[in-house]
Amino acid sequence: MSKKKNDEQQLNPTTDAGQESASLFRKPVSRRDMLRLAGASGVGLLLGGSGAFGIMAATGATKQPASDKPGSPDNVTTGIPDANRYDFYGQHQSGITTPSQNFMCFASFDLTVSDAAGLKSLLQAWTRASASLMAGELLDGQNENLNLPPADTGEAAGLTPSRITITFGAGPSLFDHRFGLAGKKPAGFGDLPPFNGDNLMPEWCGGDLGVQICADDMQVAFHGMRNLIRIARGSAVLRWSQEGFQRSTESDPNKATPRNLMGFKDGTANPSVQDAAMMNEVVWVQPEDGAGWMTGGSYMAVRRIRMRIEVWDRSSLSDQENTFGRYRVSGAPLGSQHEFDRGDMEAKDASGKPVIPMNSHMRVARGDGKMQILRRPYSYSSGMDNTTGQLDAGLFFISYQRSLEKQFIPMQQRLAQIDALNEYIQHIGSATFACFPGVRQGGYIGDTLL
Give 436-448 pLDDT, tens digit per residue: 999 999 999 999 9
Neighbouring C-beta atoms of residue 415, cutoff 10 Å: 22
Per-residue pLDDT at 111: 98
Mean pLDDT for 379-408 is 95
Mean pLDDT for 325-351 is 95
**Does residue 274 surpass a pLDDT of 80?**
yes
C-beta of residue 302 within 8 angstroms of C-beta of residue 406: no
Residues 6 or more apart from 227 whose CB is under 8 A from it? 129, 133, 139, 152, 153
Per-residue pLDDT at 42: 34
pTM for this one? 0.81
Write down the mean pLDDT value for the chain. Answer: 84
Per-residue pLDDT at 83: 66
- 106-137, pLDDT tens digit by residue? 999 999 999 999 999 999 999 999 999 999 98
- 159-212, pLDDT tens digit by residue? 999 999 999 999 999 999 999 999 999 999 999 999 999 999 999 999 999 999
- The 3-class SS string of the chain reads CCCCCCCHHHCCCCCCHHHHHHHHCCCCCCHHHHHHHHHCCCHHHHCCCCHHHHHHHHHCCCCCCHHHCCCCHHHECCCCCCCCCCCCCCCCCCCCCCCCCCEEEEEEEEECCCCHHHHHHHHHHHHHHHHHHHCCECCCCCCCCCCCCCCCCCCCCCCCCCCCEEEEEECHHHHCCCCCCHHHCCCCCCCCCCCCCCCCCHHHECCCEEEEEEECCHHHHHHHHHHHHHHHCCCEEEEEEEEEECCCCCCCCCCCCCECCCCCECCCCCCCCCCHHHHHHHCCCCHHHCCHHHCCCEEEEEEEEEECHHHHCCCCHHHHHHHHCECCCCCCECCCCCCCCCCCCCCECCCCCECCCCCCHHHHHHCCCCCCCEECCEEEEEEECCCCCCEEEEEEEEEEECCHHHHHHHHHHHHHHHCHHHHHEEEEEEEEEEECCCCCCCCCCCCCCC
Per-residue pLDDT at 233: 96
